Amino acid sequence: MLILLLSVAFAGCRNNTSDQAEKNKEPMKINTQSPKMKPSNFERTNHFNIKPTNASINTSKWIPVKGTVHIPILMYHSISIGNGLCVPENEFFSQMKWLKENGYYTLSPEEAYLVLTKDIKPRENCVLITFDDGYEDNYTKAYPILKQFGMKATIFMIGRSINKKNHLTAKQMLELSRNGFSVESHTIHHLNLNQLSADQQTSEMKRSKELLDKMLHQNTIFLCYPAGVYNEETLKLAQSAGYKMAVTTEPGDAFRDQGMYSLHRIRIFPGMSLEGFARILATPQ
């Protein structure tokens, strides 16, 4: 229980990498049941957003790229003041304003998948903006800023945190999903997958996908590993669970040679200067 509580605490994800040795640890016992949601929060809603499939995205005017496409996937957690995972609202605003002024196109997960696998881009400068854990301020602070600039982003939601204090409600998730945001999987309990058995990993991934698919009437294709940790078994199980790609916390731009289930991201820290932010985007990582 202590591991579970620590996993979902505001400290969020840690910057760890894959650890093959963890495969041999004794699997922990967890409750593999999906969290029960109140019907009033989402089942009574009559109109759902249907996310576009790859087949429905018009790529006729996209730009072909020679060689393998690299894209920056930006990693945020909370838009607030606090620890190293909290980016202040004014800094986030300045960063999004810079992206807009410099012609960056914000990708959806479906668009990012096509960019990475087909070596085509909708615009010369592209970026994928992600938020881990599904904090409430993603809705109250980040969402209005991104709407102001006509931009979209992806939130990796912890299943058991839906409707919990300081996290998104089902109603907020529905609104985000209808208005340019993608709500994707951060598993059910936010446990280190490399410490779980194959069956437990599968349960965490599949139940999260099933929950989001049902709530948002979508095909959830994107997974974020809790704390960024995984093992070789995790990569295979993520694909078997129905995901098309997954991200880690390993630093750098994302490209398909990393493996579509072990894509890298660029962590945005509080206090980063706008010049430093611009340098990260302009320089291949």
Cβ count near 81 (within 10 Å) = 12
Q: Does residue 17 sit within a domain?
A: no
Range of the domain at 89: 63-282
Q: What are phi and psi of 243, to 5 degrees?
A: -85, 155
| Strand ranges, E, within the chain | 63-64, 73-76, 105-106, 120-121, 126-133, 154-157, 182-185, 222-224, 245-251, 263-267
| Per-residue pLDDT tens over the stretch 54-113 | 658 999 999 999 999 999 999 999 999 999 999 999 999 999 999 999 999 999 999 999
Q: Does residue 196 sit within a domain?
A: yes
How high is the mean pLDDT of the chain? 86
**pLDDT at 11 exceeding the cut of 50:** no
Q: Does residue 67 sit within a domain?
A: yes
What is the identity of the amino acid at 213?
D
**pLDDT at 202 exceeding the cut of 80:** yes
- The dihedral built from the CA positions of residue 196, 201, 205 and 211, taken in this order, carries a sign that is negative
| Per-residue confidence (pLDDT) for residue 10, from 0 to 100 | 40
Cβ count near 21 (within 10 Å) = 8
**Reported confidence tier of residue 44, pLDDT bands at 50, 70, 90:** very low
CATH number for 122:
3.20.20.370
| Per-residue confidence (pLDDT) for residue 53, from 0 to 100 | 59
> How much is the pTM?
0.83
Q: Does residue 16 sit within a domain?
A: no
**pLDDT at 14 exceeding the cut of 70:** no
The total of structural domains in the chain comes to 1
Alpha-carbon gap, residue 76 to 233, rounded angstroms: 27
**Reported confidence tier of residue 47, pLDDT bands at 50, 70, 90:** very low
Q: Does residue 58 sit within a domain?
A: no
Out of 33-42, 109-118, 119-128, 236-245, least confident range:
33-42
Q: Does residue 52 sit within a domain?
A: no
| Per-residue confidence (pLDDT) for residue 180, from 0 to 100 | 86
Q: Which has the higher per-residue pLDDT, 61 or 31?
A: 61
| Per-residue confidence (pLDDT) for residue 153, from 0 to 100 | 98
- The dihedral built from the CA positions of residue 170, 172, 175 and 176, taken in this order, carries a sign that is negative
Q: Does residue 110 sit within a domain?
A: yes
Q: Does residue 115 sit within a domain?
A: yes
